[in-house]
Every structure is written in structure tokens, then in C-alpha cells.
């Protein structure tokens, strides 16, 4: 059933990980399976059956050719450095090569206590597994780089999270699970050879364009080039998050992927009423990871990566700091240009004009003051692109009509300066403005039905809806709506 494993990470030095076999579970049941992803990864599904799949995706049997391991990493959590974190409940089976020739990690999350578990039980409750499944697949469907969900199994065991909850295991697919914290793990130990081997592995795997210059370039430039490449991907990623109102919730350096994918969906959530200070995570008391802080936190995390690379960038410490600082200081500018591209597309602007930033900010300010729903506002704006009749629906999303009405006039003036005809503007805008996101109360309802009644129907329905985010889905209108006051989710939990 599994495609052949490649075992690139397993061939890195032993101190990069701990060999670890998943701890078998009592009674595994397959509750979700991503057939199209499995096909793209080269799984043989001819003889697929759910009983057998449950055995594989629970880790009860390790597939032929896999060499399971848990990865070592460190990380800054809420600004405080923890020199050893690591996969406390995850096991990497190995990498496979997908249909496009890209290496993909296959990881079981919730596979039992590992040498990195510290005080934890190594398990995952069903709720967070289904939440990650839904949100990561929704992110991917919106075209936002993300780890993927391949399968979810229940374990037939209970995990204690204050109260007993059903246990589950998620099979996660990523272009790799290497994090900023992976670099920090070696740097914190003064293991500069480890940092170098990791950097070379990352360059070969994620940034081959740097790899090809390997011979012709001085080493320092290559590693500075690595920092620059990671920075570019982070700038693009965070801009995409901001464009859909996504709040990651735990942007620790151990949750910052080197490949530029969204990783670790803990207390993440999509905001409804627009508020740049919005925070959902119950553990984020100071609002460190609030919506509007995400770009500057990404820059902070990149500075932590830069610190680990300094000795590779230049032998002269001062020179290395100077080069890295100069690069990091360009982040705000790079981010802004990514963000403007995202927001211009949301506003239906194909050309660039100097006043665009102010126009975008004016809309956001009106949304904030008018307590407008983020997703509905932009989708509704798409509807008005070619049909001024639809303005009433948009205006009704705002508590007060005056500001948005005035803004719409400005926007139409700006649209008039666009080169192309109105013809495909609505369609283009709808591809930048999802109608369906995993709204928090819907996610909660799906999780509750699965956990309390073993009813996976609402999960399957929601998954089907959020993996087609840009389609108008007739009959599914209620899934476009924000929570009623009684259904609102104000706090989300890590659920670890
Ligand atoms: P996370 O909050 O999922 O990003 O995890 C932060 C750290 O805690 C990582 O090192 C995880 O492996 C570890 N961790 C989270 N949950 C558990 C658990 N149930 N058992 C052991 N380690 C865990
Ligand atoms: Mg994590």
C-alpha cells in the first residue's frame, strides 16, 4: 500500500533524532482518509480496505522500508528558549516521492511516548486531530502552503485532558518537518557541524536553486542565501494568512517551518468580525500572537534562525551580524509587497497604483469600526464587482453604512483606472476571496458530534465544504455565515 520510502532524514547523523517505533494502540479505526492525496503520493489503493488502513495509520504495523524516528528540535515558546523540545508524540516514518517528484514526509502524530515526550503522554485527543485535518486541508484548498492530512484513526483508547477523551492519530504530510527550532537545537549545543549538515540538507531539499550554485559560491553566501530564501517564503506565507483572516495562535520558533508551510494547527482560528488585535488561544495571555502581530513575529523568528547561521555566514562575527541584520531589515518591505499583492487581488486590482495601500487600509478601518465579518466582506465585495445592486448586501454587513458607502465610491473610481474590462473581475476576485472557511463554531460542532456521539457526518460535510472554498455552493449558504452570538467561539485550546 505504501509507496517506497526514501529515508533522507534517517541518514543524517544519529544525534538529529531518536529511533522510535510507534506504540501500538488497542483498537484502531480509520475515521478519515484523503484518497486524492494518497494517490498523489503514490499509494497503491487497488486493494485498499479500511481495516488494513487503520492498522497502518495507527502505527500498529510499521510499513516495509520505513525507519521510524522522532526528530530533535528546540524552540522559543512565547519568547522563552527551551533547548530541548523534539517530537514528543510524533514519529516520522520516512519520506516518499510524490507524483511531481517532490519528497514528502509521512508522520504519525499521537503515536506514543518518545524520548522527547518530557511530561507528556505522547498521545493526541480526537478533537485536535480532526481540527488539524479540517484546517490544514482548508488552507491547502485556499492555495496557502500547508502541511496536509492524509488519514485520521481513533485508537480505541482514552487520553486524559482533564477529562477522558477519545484518542486519535493523525497522519501528516509535509515537505519536511524541519523548523527554525531544529537549527536552534544544534546551535544551542555549540554543534556548528550539526547546523551546517542541517543547512546543507535543507538547501538540497527545499532550496535546490542555492544548491546548484554550491560549487561556484563562497560558503558564506550560500548560507546567507538560505536565510534570504526562508525569509521570502515566510513573508509570502504570512501575507497569505493575513489575507484570509487566519490566526495561527502559537507562532513559536518550533512551529515555524523552514519550507514555508503552515505547520502545527493548535489553537488556530479564523477571525469573523475584523479586529487586528484578535487573539483566540487560551495560552496567549499577552496577545503576543495576535492577528496583526504575525508579520513582526515572523521576522523575530527569522532573527532566531539567523543567529544559528551566523558562524556559517562569516568567520568574522561582526561581519556576519552585519550581513544578517541588513537582510532581516528588508523583511517588512518584502512582507508589505507580498501583502499588497494578496490584498490587491482581493480588491480586484490587477494593476498597481500608489494609492492602493491607503485604499486597502481604509477598507480594513471601515471593517474594524463597522464590526464587519472578514470573509463575508471580501466575498460580498466580489459580488458587487460587476453588479452595483449587490452593494446593499455588502453594506448590511457593517454596523454603520456611511463609511463603507463612501469607500465603495473610492473603490469604483480606482476600478475605473484598471486596464481590463469588467468581464472576468468577479470570477478573479472570487478566486482570491473564499466563501467558505472553517468557521470556528462549525469546526466545534463537527468535533463535538465526532467526540460525543461518534458521528463523523458533520466532520465529513464540513471537510467537503471547506475544501472547495472558492465555489458558490448552492444549499450551503449557512456555512458562509458567522456564528450567532450564542455559538461564538472566543477561546481555542492547544489540546495537547
Ligand atoms: P505543540 O504545542 O504541539 O507545538 O508541541 C510543543 C512541544 O510539546 C513539542 O515538543 C511536542 O512534541 C510536545 N508535546 C505536545 N503534546 C504532547 C504530548 N501529548 N505528549 C508529549 N509531548 C507533547
Ligand atoms: Mg509544535
User: CB of 247 within 8 A of CB of 270?
Assistant: yes
Instruction: Tell me how far the alpha carbon of residue 15 lies from the centroid of ligand 1, in angstroms.
Output: 20
Share of the chain above pLDDT 70, in %: 98
Could you tell me if the CB of 131 is within 6 A of ligand 1? Answer: no
pLDDT of residue 216: 65
Nearest atom in ligand 1 to 122's CA: 20
Provide the CA 382 distance to its chain's centre, in angstroms.
Answer: 25
Residues 6+ positions from 492 with CB-CB distance below 8 Å: 249, 266, 267, 268, 269, 280, 281, 282, 440
- pLDDT band, residue 213 (cuts 50/70/90): low
Atom of ligand 1 nearest to the CA of 496: 16
**Closest atom of ligand 1 relative to the 90 alpha carbon:** 12
Task: Label residue 495 by pLDDT band (50, 70, 90).
Answer: low
Closest ligand 1 atom to Cα of 73: 10
Q: What is the mean pLDDT of residues 315-340?
A: 98
For residue 316, how far is its CA from the centre of ligand 2 (angstroms)?
A: 34
What mean pLDDT is predicted for residues 196-223? 87
Mean model confidence pLDDT for the chain:
96
pTM of the model: 0.97
What pLDDT does 496 receive? Answer: 61
Q: What is the pLDDT of residue 419?
A: 86
Q: Confirm or reject: Cβ of 123 under 6 Å from ligand 1.
A: yes
Does the pLDDT value for residue 129 go beyond 70? Answer: yes
Question: Does the CB atom of residue 89 touch ligand 1 within 6 A?
Answer: yes
Taking the centre of ligand 2 as the mean of its atom positions, its distance from the CA of residue 221, in whole angstroms, is 30
Q: What is the dihedral of CA 171, 4, 177, 67, to 10 degrees?
A: 90
Residue by residue, what is the 3-state secondary structure of the chain? CCCCCCCCHHHCCHHHEEECCCCCCCCCEEEEECHHHHHHCCCCCCCCCHHHHHHHHCCCCCCCCCCCEEECCCEEECCEEECCCCCCCEEEEEEEECCCCCEEEEEEECCCCCCCCCCCCCCEEHHHHHHHHHHHHHHHHCCCCECEEEEEEEEEEEEEECEEEEEEEEEEEECCCCEHHHHHHHHHCCCHHHHHHHHHHHHHHHCHHHHCCCCCCCHHHHHHHHHHHHHHHHHHHHHHHHHCCEECCCCCHHHCECCCCECCCCCCEECCECCCCCCCECCCCCCCCCHHHHHHHHHHHHHHHHHHHHHHHCCCHHHHHHHHHHHHCCHHHHHHHHHHHHHHHHCCCCCCCCCHHHHHHHHHHHHHHCCCEHHHHHHHHHHHCCCHHHHHHHHCCCCCHHHHHHHHHHHHHHHHCCCCCCCCHHHHHHCCCCCCCCCHHHHHHHHHHHHHHCCCHHHHHHHHHHCCCCCCCCCCHHHHCCCCHHHCCCCECCCC
**Could you tell which of 70, 82, 88 is best to mutate to test the pocket of ligand 1, judged by most ligand atoms within 8 Å of the CB?**
88
> Is the torsion defined by CA of 198, 204, 208, 211 positive or negative?
positive
Evaluate: CB of 132 within 6 angstroms of ligand 1. no
Model confidence pLDDT, tens digit, residues 363-418: 999 999 999 999 999 999 999 998 999 999 999 999 999 999 999 999 999 999 99
Specify the pLDDT at position 219. Answer: 83
What's the average model confidence in pLDDT over 168-186?
98
Residue range 429-435: mean pLDDT, rounded: 98
Q: Which atom of ligand 1 is nearest to the CA of 77?
A: 6
109 Cα–ligand 2 center, Å: 11
pLDDT tens by residue, 229-241: 999 999 999 999 9
Catalytic residue status for 373: no
Pocket residue to mutate for ligand 1, from 23, 120, 492, most atoms within 8 A of Cβ: 120
* Closest by Cα among 479, 446, 462 to 127: 446
Indicate whether 276 pLDDT > 90: yes
**Of these residues, 105, 254, 284, 314, which one is catalytic?**
254
Q: Is the pLDDT of residue 257 over 60?
A: yes
How much is the average pLDDT of 433-458? Answer: 97
The pLDDT value recorded for residue 332 is: 98
Average pLDDT over residues 251-257: 98
Pairwise CA distance, residues 417 & 128, whole Å: 47
84 CB within 6 A, ligand 1:
no
The number of beta carbons lying within 10 Å of the beta carbon of residue 93 is: 25
User: What's residue 420's pLDDT?
Assistant: 66
Q: Please give the share of the chain, as a percent, with pLDDT higher than 90.
A: 94
Q: How many angstroms separate the alpha carbon of residue 120 from the centre of ligand 1? A: 7
**pLDDT value at position 488?**
86
- Cβ of 301 less than 6 Å from ligand 1: no
The pairing of strands 103-109 and 269-270 is unpaired
pLDDT at 215: 63
∠ CA 41-473-174, nearest 5°, is 25
The predicted structure's pLDDT at residue 421: 63
Q: What is the mean pLDDT of residues 291-308?
A: 98
Amino acid at each position: 500500500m505504501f509507496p517506497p520510502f526514501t529515508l533522507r532524514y534517517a541518514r543524517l547523523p544519529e544525534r538529529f533524532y531518536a529511533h522510535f517505533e510507534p506504540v501500538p494502540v488497542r483498537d484502531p479505526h480509520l475515521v478519515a482518509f484523503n484518497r486524492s492525496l494518497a494517490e498523489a503520493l503514490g499509494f497503491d489503493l487497488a486493494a485498499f480496505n479500511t481495516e488494513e488502513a487503520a492498522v497502518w495509520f495507527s502505527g500498529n504495523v510499521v510499513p516495509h522500508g520505513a525507519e521510524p524516528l522522532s526528530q530533535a528540535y528546540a524552540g522559543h515558546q512565547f519568547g522563552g528558549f527551551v533547548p530541548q523540545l523534539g517530537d514528543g508524540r510524533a514519529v516520522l516514518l520516512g519520506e516518499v516521492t510524490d507524483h511531481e517528484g517532490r519528497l514528502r514526509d509521512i508522520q504519525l502524530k499521537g503515536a506514543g511516548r518518545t524520548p522527547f515526550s518530557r511530561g507528556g503522554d505522547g498521545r493526541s485527543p480526537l478533537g485536535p486531530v480532526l481540527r488539524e485535518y479540517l484546517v490544514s486541508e482548508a488552507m491547502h484548498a485556499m492555495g496557502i502552503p500547508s502541511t496536509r492530512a492524509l488519514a485520521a484513526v481513533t485508537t480505541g483508547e482514552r487520553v486524559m485532558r482533564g477529562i477522558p477523551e477519545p484518542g486519535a492519530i493523525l497522519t501528516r504530510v509535509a515537505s519536511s518537518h524541519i523548523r527554525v527550532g531544529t537549527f536552534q537545537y544544534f546551535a544551542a549545543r555549540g554543534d556548528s557541524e550539526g547546523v551546517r549538515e542541517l543547512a546543507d540538507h535543507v538547501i538540497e531539499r527545499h532550496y535546490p536553486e542555492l544548491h546548484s550554485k554550491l560549487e561556484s559560491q563562497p560558503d558564506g553566501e550560500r548560507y546567507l542565501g538560505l536565510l534570504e530564501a526562508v525569509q521570502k517564503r515566510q513573508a509570502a506565507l504570512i501575507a497569505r494568512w493575513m489575507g484570509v483572516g487566519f490566526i495561527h495562535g502559537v507562532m513559536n520558533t518550533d512551529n515555524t517551518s523552514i519550507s514555508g508551510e503552515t505547520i502545527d494547527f493548535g489553537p488556530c482560528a479564523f477571525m469573523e468580525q475584523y479586529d487586528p488585535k484578535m487573539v483566540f488561544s487560551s495560552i496567549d495571555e499577552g496577545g503576543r500572537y495576535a492577528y496583526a502581530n504575525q508579520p513582526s513575529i515572523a521576522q523575530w523568528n527569522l532573527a532566531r534562525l539567523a543567529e544559528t547561521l551566523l558562524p556559517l555566514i562569516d568567520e568574522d562575527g561582526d561581519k556576519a551580524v552585519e550581513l544578517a541584520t541588513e537582510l532581516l531589515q528588508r523583511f517588512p518591505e518584502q512582507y508589505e509587497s507580498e501583502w499588497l499583492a494578496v490584498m490587491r487581488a482581493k480588491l480586484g486590482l490587477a494593476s498597481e497604483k500608489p494609492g492602493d495601500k491607503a485604499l486597502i487600509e481604509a477598507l480594513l478601518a471601515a471593517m474594524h469600526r463597522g464590526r464587519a465579518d472578514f470573509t463575508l466582506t471580501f466575498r460580498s465585495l466580489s459580488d458587487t464587482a460587476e453588479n452595483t445592486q449587490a452593494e446593499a448586501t455588502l453594506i448590511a454587513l457593517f454596523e454603520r453604512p456611511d463609511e463603507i458607502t463612501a469607500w465603495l465610491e473610492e473603490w469604483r473610481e480606482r476600478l475605473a483606472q484598471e486596464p481590463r474590462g469588467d468581464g472576468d473581475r468577479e470570477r478573479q476576485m472570487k478566486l482570491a476571496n473564499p466563501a467558505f472557511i472553517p468557521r470556528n463554531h462549525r469546526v466545534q460542532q463537527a468535533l463535538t458530534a465526532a467526540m460525543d456521539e461518534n458521528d463523523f457526518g458533520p466532520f465529513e460535510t464540513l471537510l467537503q465544504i471547506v475544501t472547495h472554498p472558492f465555489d458558490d455552493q448552492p444549499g450551503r449558504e449557512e456555512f458562509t455565515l458567522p456564528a450567532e452570538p450564542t455559538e461564538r467561539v472566543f477561546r481555542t485550546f492547544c489540546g495537547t
